[in-house]
Structure 1
Amino acid sequence: MELLPFAAAHAGTVAGWPATAQEVVMWCGRQEFPLPARTVAGWQQDEDVQAHVLVVGGDVVGYGELWFDAEEDEVELARIIVAPGSRGAGRGRALVRGLLAHAVAAGHGDVFMRVHPLNAAALRCYRGAGFVTVDAELAASWNAAQPTEYVWLRYEEDAPAAG
């Protein structure tokens, strides 16, 4: 398994992974289905976003982003998805750990992520990678401007791995 920088050629593959409109919403909060490849490619235009793909045997099987916020001294892991045929095999956790290694290496103080509350598989994966739920008051303040009451997680190096 390798974590490689995202290339525009990956956009169509990644955009095709969500099988339903609900899966698109849970993955990236978008209301369009099917998700156009140009949307995924467009996410790369933000200079504070670094996207990566997980490659296994030459096949792209995962996608995720790091959103850097130098002002807040933090990184958010975002828009993480695994190809349907690769789910349930530990690839999501490998992807998250690879992204986390990049985030930690960047030297920012905190690493966060938000998860759609109905995405139980993702929550298990992220908790297994060392993420814990943030304080309810902090989550409420962050959710005030969001379209969904996300579950907010913070990486805790010493958190016991779940699952």
Structure 2
Amino acid sequence: MTGAHPIRPAQDGWTLMDLRRFAPVHAASVAGWPTSLTEVVMWCGGSEFPMPEETISGWQQGDDVEAHVLVEGERLLAYGELWFDAEEDEVELARLIVDPEVRGEGVGRELVRGLLARAVEAGFDDVFMRVHPENDRALRCYTGAGFVPVDPGLQQEWNAAQPVNYTWLRHLEGLPQ
């Protein structure tokens, strides 16, 4: 997703959000967004609170990981990653989090929209994500953005090696409105 998209009403019109590549300078802000250890676990499976910014910076080392931030002007609003799997010809949206100050304002859905557009630009139509089963707010956001649960047998197979029985979701064709 390149270019800004009007998304949130403001006093003088619509504000613009833009999906940009993550830079190390963003790590401290993102690390401060989880509000509890429970939230860290549901967000990224981590076990440290507060979250160390070095951990977030370290996530960017793999060639198959592409991290992004959603910004409004220069203000960071959200963070998310694309995990590319060329062998399986699929991509997973991962580690999505929204600044607590703007949760519930449609920012999460805009982040999902931008990451989906980036996945399609990269040539991937098969897009998945896993969600902690107790993260009801995230599940509502992602189903509202066009994701549906995968087949229960497939979910069971994918969870066999996972520390949690995640809810696995697959995106339906087309980008969310």
Q: How many residues align?
A: 161
Question: Which residue is equivalent to 2:44?
Answer: 28
> Counterparts of 1:4-83 in structure 2 under 5 Å?
4-83=20-99
User: Secondary structure of 1:145's partner?
Assistant: coil
1:77 and 1:133 mapped to 2: Cα distance? 14
Assess, with a 3 A threshold, how the Cα gap between structure 1 residues 103 and 134 changes in structure 2: closer, same or farther.
same
Aligned Cα root-mean-square deviation (Å): 1.4
2: distance between equivalents of 1:160 and 1:99? 11
Alignment match of 1:127 (pick from 138, 143, 146):
143
**Long gaps (5+) in structure 2:** 1-16
Structure 2 counterpart of 1:100, one-letter code: L
Question: By how many angstroms is 1:158 displaced?
Answer: 5.9
After TM superposition, the runs of 4+ consecutive aligned structure 1 residues lying more than 4 A away are: 158-161
1:136 aligns with 2:152: yes
SS in 2 for 1:47: coil
CA distance in 1, matches of 2:125, 2:142: 18
**Percent of residue pairs identical:** 65
What does 1:110-121 align with in structure 2 at a 5 Å threshold?
110-121=126-137
Contact 1:131 1:159 in 2 (8 A): no
Query: What is the distance in 2 between the residues matched to 1:35 and 1:85?
Result: 18
